Amino acid sequence: MLLLALDQGTTSTRAILLTQEGKPVASDQRELPQIFPRSGWVEHDPEEIWRATEAVIGGALAKANAKASDVVALGITNQRETTIIWDRRTGKPIHNAIVWQDRRTADVCERLEKAGHGPTFTAKTGLLLDPYFSGTKIAWILDQVSGARDLAAAGHLAFGTVDCFLLWRLTGGKVHATDATNASRSLLYDIAKGDWDDELCGLLNVPRSLLPQVVDSAGVVGHTDPKLFGHAIPIAGIAGDQQAATVGQVCFAPGTIKSTYGTGCFVVLNTGATRVASKNKLLTTIAYKMGGKPTYAVEGSIFVAGASIQWLRDGLKLFASAGETQALAAAAPADDGVYLVPAFTGLGAPYWDAHARGAILGLSRDTGIATLVRAALEAVCYQTRDLLTTMQADGADKPVALRVDGGMTANDWAMQFLADILDVPVERPKILETTALGAAYLAGLGVGLYQSTDDLASLWQRDRLFEPNMDAGRRDRLYAGWRQAVDRILTK
């Protein structure tokens, strides 16, 4: 009896088979090519995503010597906000997927803000007017693809984030649905009423006919087409990647907090049944929805974390493998005043500057590869402190501990620096891929394999605890340098 998690991320697509206890049995992964049509624009090929999805599910089953009939439920987790529009009649996308990092609609967001609509969007969605979210991306595709507006008016087009597109394909076009976590990232969904909002759709010029049904994060929503894998698998869990990681880290109690370090970095603080409105540009969002009841969260979003390491590796060719960064960072001179501000696609929380661009400051003749690597890792930690500081300014208590996950957390040097710069203990779990784990847990809840979230809490296991040991003077001096570096690149 196995659970299957499909984790479709920004840079890869993977499938992981897990036991009921959450132990990985087998996995398969395919890299996802990035498309950069212009500066600040990021796209994916939806058909490449689909081909990879079929391949990794089949690959994971083959590696486990398992059949689709051995899988009790499938959970989907996905890169959020990435926008796909396809023709309902053919299932074919009408444009490349516009990725969450994409900045092409910054001017639209600024016009709406200047027209005074920002407070309306924030009050209903918990979000800020920013090109990060799906709504303006939908309008851009409809406006730029010839004939798209007419097709939409005729009811022939469907919008979805990646989970929704994959659900459509996996069910053979039978189900057009998304869960509440993904809907809550669209600028179109009223998170208090739990429904798409006509006023917001009108402001963004998005026809409601494009929008999917919104379902709970746990519960059977459809079955895979038997022709795909030889047996119909119940699809019983859906959540955006950061919400899935929150579930995987079993952050079910109000006040629990996790931070995921993947392409970007995302800190999510569970606030329970209470919607907490940030006064400092953090997001109010849905952590998950079960039994028809939403659980809310406050989120801080950093656009570039692991992506900066990927840039140093693939763009600048400074090293061959991310695994080398720990030794490089440890060998670099400490406190040499070099800061890397990775605003490759603007800055997210708490700055929200879509036009900011990256910079390296404090360079000298003896700056080398190790120093740049160290600065990139430190930047992720400084940005996390930005978010925790902002959460506390909004009234949150200082965390007792921060649970971390994602590929970057395998780097012990980075995790120790994170604990040091935050002055907060950092807990790393035994299973780092908690995004996939959360999708599997939701699917298990959806088919009754687990009776409640209490069944999941006992499954979490800590791998290592990183205790802060940096003196306060040095901590504050380093962070002050970071804030000065950020000030140098802000455009507003």
Is 434 marked within a binding site?
Answer: no
Among residues 18, 79, 14, the alpha carbon closest in space to that of 52 is found at 14
Q: What is the DSSP letter of 77?
A: E
**How far is CA 71 from each of CA 20, 21, 220, 230, rounded to the nearest angstrom?**
11, 14, 14, 12
Q: Say if residue 411 carries a ligand binding annotation.
A: yes
Distance between CA atoms of 360 and 337, rounded to whole angstroms? 10
Contact present, 42 and 97 (Cβ < 8 Å): no
User: Any binding-site annotation on 80?
Assistant: yes
Cα–Cα distance between 146 and 149 in angstroms, integer?
8
Q: How far is CA 128 from CA 186, 187, 244, 398, 471, in A?
A: 11, 8, 22, 24, 36
| Residue listed under structure tokens 């661009």 | 357
Q: Which residues of 394-422 are buried (b: 16+ CB within 10 A; e: fewer)?
A: bebeebebbbbbbbbbbbebbbbbbbbbb
**Residues 6 or more apart in contact with residue 9 via CB below 8 angstroms:** 32, 78, 79, 241, 262, 263, 435
Residue in the structure block whose two tokens are 């720990």: 326
Residue 10 labeled ligand binder: yes
242 is in an annotated binding site: yes
Cα-only R_g, the chain: 21
Euclidean distance between CA atoms 101 and 409, whole angstroms: 22
* Cα–Cα distance for residue pair 434/8, rounded to 1 Å: 13
Q: Which two tokens stand for residue 366?
A: 């003896």
Say if residue 310 carries a ligand binding annotation.
yes
- Find out whether 241 is annotated in a ligand binding site: yes
Block residue for tokens 């079910």: 252
- Say whether 427 counts as a known binding-site residue: no
Q: What angle do CA 317, 96, 220 make, to 5 degrees?
A: 105
Half-sphere exposure of 175 (CA within 13 A, CB side): 21
Contact 379, 481 (CB under 8 A): no
Q: Is 477 a known ligand-binding residue?
A: no
Q: Does the annotation place 82 within a ligand binding site?
A: no
The single-letter DSSP state of residue 309 is: H
Binding residues for ATP: 10-12, 263, 306, 310, 407
Binding residues for sn-glycerol 3-phosphate: 10, 80-81, 132, 241
Binding residues for glycerol: 80-81, 132, 241-242
Binding residues for ADP: 10, 14, 263, 306, 407, 411
Binding residues: 10-12, 14, 80-81, 132, 241-242, 263, 306, 310, 407, 411
